[in-house]
Amino acid sequence: MNENLDNRAQQIWQSQPVEGTKMSAEAIRLRAGKFERRIARRNLRESLMSVGVIVLFCYYFATAHGAAYRVTWGLFIAGMVWLIVQLRRRGTPKPMPGDMGSSTSVDFFRAELTRQRDLVMDYWTWYFIPLLPGYAALNVALAVAFDRPHRWLVLAGMDAFFVIMFFLLWKLNLKAARCLQRSIDELGSSQSR
């Protein structure tokens, strides 16, 4: 009988809800600050690379022979400018106000993580699609310029390279989105404990 009583008491004890440790407001602030700095570095890196590409495209635009190539490089420049604007508008991290409590800090940080996750998931609309008109114009300009059909193999090789590159970028962004989603889920589980 004593064994049944001990077993019953153990079952009651084990079935009780466990109160986990909630993250303190300071811990959330530190984590959010680290995240903010990482996103700011990413945006700076992307912006500097985009400006470098714009400078290169401006050179191509200035030295282009023919209107088709000028249109091509002009479309690429416009696409790259759009990319930088969207990254700045949609991807700039918002700093966490210092006077927030723990639950408000978690909500703010979760909203920032969600915003960044949505940005990398939406990669096609703000990164890839704005570059498509320039790329299509380049294909047309090169196809017209290539007087021998066997040169179109070079064009097909270039197209294959860019398809593979954008596919890899897409996969990289999906991986980043999964990491951000894990952080969002982790915040949700730490708050519900």
The residue extents of the domains of the chain are 23-192
Residue 40 CA to its chain's centroid (Å): 12
Ramachandran angles phi, psi of 128, nearest 5°: -80, -50
> What pLDDT does residue 20 have?
44
User: How does DSSP classify residue 23?
Assistant: P
For 28, other C-beta atoms within 10 Å of its C-beta total 26
Ramachandran angles phi, psi of 94, nearest 5°: -90, 130
0.85 exceeded by pTM = no
Query: Which pair of tokens denotes residue 166?
Result: 């954008």
Q: What is the pLDDT of residues 7-44, one digit of tens each?
A: 666 666 556 554 444 667 778 888 888 999 999 999 99
In this predicted structure, the answer to whether residue 192 has a pLDDT above a threshold of 70 is no
